[in-house]
Structure 1
């Protein structure tokens, strides 16, 4: 990098950091890359997307930054995945070749073993000398050692491959944890919820929280199977996502429990939204393909909480969850608090 480029990069960085501070964007390497690109205006589509996010949501949330980074910056990820695929293919080919070689050597050993036994039987009949007989035995021992070495080498390779696969599985698990979207429903997951709530707390932005839980969900799994349970979860998630407007965001909180965040909304507004959503969930019908019947007895219970000034996120969640539990105890399929 020449001096002019260095000075230009430094000036760009001086613009990038205050902009991130202004929008309270977490200072991660990915966010640095995202906002550095924004300042340099290298990608008009990225600038348009960020400007639109700020205009619509009043902020660029951590999950929004991650999404924009994946869409506009992280092309390297595609290359890394291609490299991973190539490495896995090479490893499997190597194992396949080793297995083929080992099987071939095993067949050769079997052939030589049969040949040796035949010669020993012939020796017994024809009365070969002790030296000739010992020569046959030595050949059998040698062949046995060769196949042991071949099998040992293959076993070592399998162990090494097993370790590589375990490492890849761990890396995949970590990457899945890093993802913001729930794999089953496609809406945001608990990790995204925690990060966004932390962002609300940092920016001191008021909000109301809706927690909801599918009623008698275990029954769907017990009576119709887990696939039906998954279909119910996905159907409810779609209704939540469809209901989101004006900066609202839906999350799968865990299992059959969901969360809906309503920025700058009062408890009364959140209750109205939750009541509409409750009625819409009542209308859901899911087809049981095994029996050819439609399951239309889906309901959910709701608990609400409006964040009080300076109130920690954990207290808001706890309060909403307490109302949710009360709603279930009072008969389910209802929204609490009433007022």
Structure 2
């Protein structure tokens, strides 16, 4: 079976599972609900996975409202932003081109009116010509006013486009940001990784880059002991500490659950390992306290796996190698950092 045939087969499996989930739970087969369950079975969004798994594990009913919130938060925003962005760019270009044409027409009309005015003065002594030329001049003034009015309307459209563009930029930022930790999400990380890999593979003088996979040690035990609210606070704190250690084009993303991914452009493996050591040391030395009560929950440690990109291996294989190094770090006792072989 070819790769394409395998992908088609998987999509049919996801579709079957989605329809069964809707049917078993008595949910309406709307596009929104269908899309959420399809993404869940395809494991395309870690937040949707986390929420649905948590609700199902508790034995609670998963209401339509919750599924719709997941759709509008993690699926719709991105699709709508991309669709509207393309439309806005086309419309903005059209308005700008129209504005340029009107400016040219206004300039030409002004010169034409001045010429007519001068001609009218010269020809007024001719009774037959003067009235005709005067009428043309009046019509020209009306046309000038029409162009001025159109220009004002276009200015108004451009202002509205600027406001909409700002809203679209904010929407796109939300679609690329993890809702809890406020670092980048998995989708944005993988997009940037793909771009960086393509740039590397097509360049005559490629720049070395690395990926680090970071996992919080014994995080499930923390959740079980203190609850998910404290667990979320810890995730937010660790994410902020990871982000504080990067620079420039580096990207920290929440990859799923308690796992983070870090993209390090222009960074050789040796530098990535030095960064991993420094991050591990800083996080292990930080006392974890609850925001509300100040209660101490001790220290948290991380395990890290790092890998340097190899030409033409692609982003997925690079992540797999970094994940394997992370697995070695956890298997070796946690609070470790290993480089991929």
TM score, norm. by length of structure 2: 0.49
Report the TM-score, using the length of structure 1 for normalisation. 0.49
